[in-house]
């Protein structure tokens, strides 16, 4: 058989195809998702696994969303509404904006892709912070644009330095507020100063994936800022407090002219029928939102008290997760916790080798995690 020749040939063409790929994509580090629970169960044969690795809502989706997704099943042969009419109407009412300002996405990650496709070219640059969310370099480099990472200050965005990094080639500045993985945030006064000083033809993406958890008087109202600054695009998601990460639905709120551009770059049926139905129902489930917020607030206190008992430093966070500094390095403790059936996140790919990021779980999950951590550090 020509097996050898054929496999040599496929190797050669694989090599050729790699060379054909855009340089930005070739040099990308792939996104590393949290380790799935099923994978660890298979590997270790453990039956109790606690996953605190992907900032998912530990309560799951609300009952209204589950029912709506189930009810949508019978129409699965029909394409979803490509304009997302009902969901946009409901969001517009809640946020007090015009439906023409809203763009729906397959998760808010999809919004970042649409923004990159719309505004980035190989001649342009996107600015974001060190320890910033991993999707920003991915969408920037995929568009062939130059990624400009600005050193963080106290683990968070240094808006002054980011302003200083803006050039005539800058098309997008990404700001996660609060940021993942650090949980740090920018205050309204800082952000207003930044927007006033920035050229109005640079797009500012304000990524508010965790805004529903925030109870801070100085936390900026991104949508109100967008009404004053047409270059602001606020992105939000149903993946975090609403507990619908598996459905993939997020949205952007911006000036209608920008929304019109994003809409042109969008694939027509990017948000599935069950996702639209689930999101619409989740918006009405105030009880689930409030319960989720309360579980997060008390769980955050529980984890911080646990860290203090263990003598560990954490980074103050406004999200549903917190970074803790562990002796011996994040990867070592991450691996040790895995063997005890607890999945958290090591942060070496975020330039934080000494930290772990832990999602706030239920009271019981947090206890299991803290006990495993204490045992590992020899505090039993
Ligand atoms: C989780 C997260 C998102 C949203 O992800 P989607 O599931 O794609 O909506 C966006 N930004 C940050 C900072 C996040 O942590």
Whether 233 contacts 208, CB under 8 Å: no
Backbone angles phi, psi at 314, to 5 degrees: -125, 165
In this predicted structure, what is the pLDDT of residue 214? 98
In terms of C-beta density within 10 A (0-12 exposed, 13-18 middle, 19 or more buried), how is residue 225 classed?
middle
Q: In this prediction, what percent of the chain has a pLDDT beyond 90?
A: 87
For ligand 1, the distance from its centroid to the CA atom of residue 206, given in whole angstroms, is 12
Instruction: Rounding to the nearest 10 degrees, give the CA dihedral for residues 193, 208, 258, 167.
Output: 50
* Mutate which of 109, 129, 182, 206 for ligand 1 pocket (most atoms within 8 A of beta carbon): 109
Mean pLDDT over each residue of the chain, to the nearest integer: 95
Instruction: Rounding to the nearest 10 degrees, give the CA dihedral for residues 312, 318, 321, 325.
Output: -20
- The residues with which 50 forms a beta bridge, in sequence order, are 342
* Closest-CA residue to 69 (of 280, 236, 241): 280
How do residues 82-105 score in pLDDT, each as one tens digit?
999 999 999 999 999 999 999 999
Q: Closest ligand 1 atom to the C-alpha of 319? A: 15
The yes-or-no verdict on residue 3 having pLDDT over 60 is no
Tell whether ligand 1 has an atom less than 6 A from the beta carbon of residue 245. yes
In this predicted structure, what is the pLDDT of residue 13? 87
For ligand 1, the distance from its centroid to the CA atom of residue 55, given in whole angstroms, is 9
In this predicted structure, what is the pLDDT of residue 379? 75
How do residues 20-55 score in pLDDT, each as one tens digit?
998 888 988 888 787 888 888 888 887 789 999 999
The yes-or-no verdict on residue 217 having pLDDT over 50 is yes
Tell whether ligand 1 has an atom less than 6 A from the beta carbon of residue 176. yes
Closest C-alpha to ligand 1, atom 3:
209
Tell whether ligand 1 has an atom less than 6 A from the beta carbon of residue 34. no
Closest C-alpha to ligand 1, atom 13:
180
- Mean pLDDT calculated for residue range 131-145: 97
Other CB atoms within 10 A of residue 271 CB: 26
Tell whether ligand 1 has an atom less than 6 A from the beta carbon of residue 129. no
For ligand 1, the distance from its centroid to the CA atom of residue 108, given in whole angstroms, is 6
Q: ∠ CA(227), CA(228), CA(231), 5° rounding?
A: 85
The yes-or-no verdict on residue 1 having pLDDT over 50 is no
Distance CA 315, CA 308 (A): 12
Q: Closest ligand 1 atom to the C-alpha of 250? A: 9
């Amino acid at each position: 058989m020509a097996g050898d020749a054929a496999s040599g040939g496929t190797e050669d063409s694989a090599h050729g195809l790699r060379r054909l790929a855009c340089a930005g994509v070739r040099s990308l580090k792939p996104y590393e998702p949290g380790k799935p629970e099923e994978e660890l169960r298979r590997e270790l044969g453990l039956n109790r696994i606690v996953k605190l690795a992907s900032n998912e809502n530990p309560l799951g989706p609300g009952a209204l969303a589950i029912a709506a997704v189930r009810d949508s099943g019978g129409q699965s042969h029909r394409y979803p509404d490509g304009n997302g009419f009902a969901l946009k109407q409901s969001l517009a009412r809640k946020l007090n904006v015009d439906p023409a300002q809203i763009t729906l996405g397959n998760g808010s990650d999809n919004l970042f892709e649409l923004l990159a496709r719309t505004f980035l070219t190989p001649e342009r640059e996107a600015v974001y912070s060190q320890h910033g969310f991993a999707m920003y370099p991915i969408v920037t480099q995929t568009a062939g644009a130059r990624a400009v990472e600005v050193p963080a200050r106290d683990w968070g965005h240094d808006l002054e330095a980011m302003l200083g990094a803006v050039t005539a080639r800058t098309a997008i500045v990404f700001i996660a507020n609060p940021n993942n993985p650090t949980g740090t945030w920018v205050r309204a006064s800082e952000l207003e100063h930044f927007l006033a000083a920035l050229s109005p033809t640079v797009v500012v993406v304000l990524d508010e994936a965790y805004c529903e958890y925030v109870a801070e008087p100085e936390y900026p109202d991104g949508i109100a800022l967008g009404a004053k600054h047409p270059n602001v695009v606020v992105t939000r998601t149903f993946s975090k407090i609403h507990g619908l990460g598996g459905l993939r639905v997020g949205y952007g709120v911006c000036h209608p002219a920008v929304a019109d551009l994003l809409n042109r770059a969008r694939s027509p049926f990017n948000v599935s029928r069950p996702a639209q139905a689930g999101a619409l129902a989740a918006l009405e489930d105030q009880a689930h939102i409030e319960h989720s917020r309360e579980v997060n607030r008390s769980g955050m206190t529980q984890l911080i008290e646990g860290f203090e008992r263990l003598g560990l430093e954490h980074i103050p966070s406004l999200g549903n997760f917190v970074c803790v500094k562990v002796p011996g390095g994040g990867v070592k403790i991450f691996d040790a916790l895995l063997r005890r059936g607890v999945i958290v996140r090591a942060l070496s790919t975020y330039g934080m080798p000494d930290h772990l990021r832990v999602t706030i779980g239920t009271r019981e999950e947090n206890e299991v995690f803290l006990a495993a951590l204490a045992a590992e550090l020899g505090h039993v």
